[in-house]
A = this chain, B = another copy of it.
Amino acid sequence: AAAPWPAAAQSSVSISGILDLAVRNVSNEGVGSMKSMVSGSNSTSRLIISGREDLGNGLSAGFHLEHGILADTGATAGGAKFWDRRTTVSLSSKTLGELRLGRDFVPSYTNWSRYDPFAYVGVARTANLVSATPQGPIRAAFGSNANTTVRSDNALQLLLPANPGGLVGLEGGLMLAPGEGGAVASGLAKLVGLRLGYAGKGFGVSAASTTSDNSQTTAGKFRDTVVGGQVDVANVRLSGAWREFKYATSKQTLLLIGATATFGLHEVKASWTQANLSGRVGTTAVDANDASQWGLGYVYNLSKRSALYASVAQIQNDGAQRFVISDGAAGIVAGGSSRGYEAGLRHRF
């Protein structure tokens, strides 16, 4: 008998990724400087295996496996969580959008990182000011366990199709994850996130909110809210974003201003970020523990896939704050400054 399957185009599996290594120097106030080789300063080193199958009638199925590589040592970025960056299977409709199951970025992260000229990586990444180390809402909610500021396991997502219902430029999605009993140590959390944006000609605005809780968050939900926008002025893209982490009696806000200028093969990037903590963790007031960071970067594109780059950044902590550029010596003084620069090679494949 003839196969009962609907006629459908087959597409092959694709292997792609990025290898990115740089030499870095970080000076942390009070403990001197340290040289290192670091992975992923322009773009996170990774291996991607993905594919898509056309099911006919505007439907398609697809999968995406993405593995983070610490290319300086060859180690997995996620430990035993090998496909730590993304592990999803999808059913997509051109008119109804995409049902996506599995580990992926949370809406608030997706909405924030697009406005960071350094894409959340390298010496000048805004991630330097998103840390579970200092007393604040992130640590208060999740301790040193995995938190939901970047990704979530077990997620079910409903993503809008392109130009949903004829609304040109509208985009967004909903993410839901079950708590699975709230096992804290494994970083599981019940999560609800929403993202909505509008991309016009030369500009875009978007907002997202993600709330999560597990058995450790006994004082309510952890809330992560982001609003941002960008506009292109000649060859310069200007961006700005605001983010707020909130849990129990403490709060942390981030304010980001960024610019990326492109001149042929050359790219110049700059960002300024401010972290403002407020409220209390237990009986400890954290209001004075703020910080600001500036970053400056240059990229020379050897091709569409390969680039040489260099960046420099500095964090100035206030009060008892100890944010640092990573891969420096441990033990920065409270309220001290962290300075770093790096130069590297990024290759996409």
What's the minimum C-beta distance from A43 to chain B, rounded to whole angstroms? 11
Q: Which of A23, A154, A177 has the most CB of B within 10 A?
A: A154
In the complex, 13 of the A-B residue pairs with CB atoms within 8 angstroms, ordered by the A residue number, are: A13-B15, A21-B89, A35-B180, A37-B102, A37-B153, A37-B155, A37-B178, A51-B349, A61-B345, A71-B102, A91-B306, A91-B345, A180-B327
Report, nearest first, the 8 A-B pairs whose CB atoms are least far apart.
Answer: A74-B83, A37-B154, A21-B101, A61-B306, A19-B89, A74-B87, A19-B63, A35-B178
Bound together, the chains give a CA A15 to CA B13 distance in angstroms of 7
Does A251 lie at the interface of the complex (its beta carbon under 8 Å from any beta carbon of B)? no
Bound together, the chains give a CA A346 to CA B102 distance in angstroms of 12
Q: In the complex the two chains form, is A87's CB within 8 Å of B69's CB?
A: yes
Does A20 lie at the interface of the complex (its beta carbon under 8 Å from any beta carbon of B)? yes
Q: A47-B49, A71-B83 are in contact. List 6 more A-B contacts (CB 8 A).
A: A19-B89, A37-B180, A61-B302, A73-B154, A74-B82, A89-B345
Interface residues on A, range: 35 or more
Does A6 lie at the interface of the complex (its beta carbon under 8 Å from any beta carbon of B)? yes
In the bound complex, residues from chain B placing their C-beta under 8 Å from that of A155 are 37
Counted per complex, copies of this chain come to: 3
Does A284 lie at the interface of the complex (its beta carbon under 8 Å from any beta carbon of B)? no
In the bound complex, residues from chain B placing their C-beta under 8 Å from that of A63 are 19, 347, 349
- Interface readout for A79-106 with B: 1 if CB under 8 Å, 0 if not? 1111111111111000000010111000
In the bound complex, residues from chain B placing their C-beta under 8 Å from that of A156 are 23, 37
Q: In the complex the two chains form, is B83's CB within 8 Å of A69's CB?
A: yes
Bound together, the chains give a CA A169 to CA B316 distance in angstroms of 54
In the bound complex, residues from chain B placing their C-beta under 8 Å from that of A344 are 101
Q: In the complex the two chains form, is B89's CB within 8 Å of A20's CB?
A: yes
Q: In the complex the two chains form, is B349's CB within 8 Å of A180's CB?
A: no
Q: In the complex the two chains form, is B154's CB within 8 Å of A36's CB?
A: yes
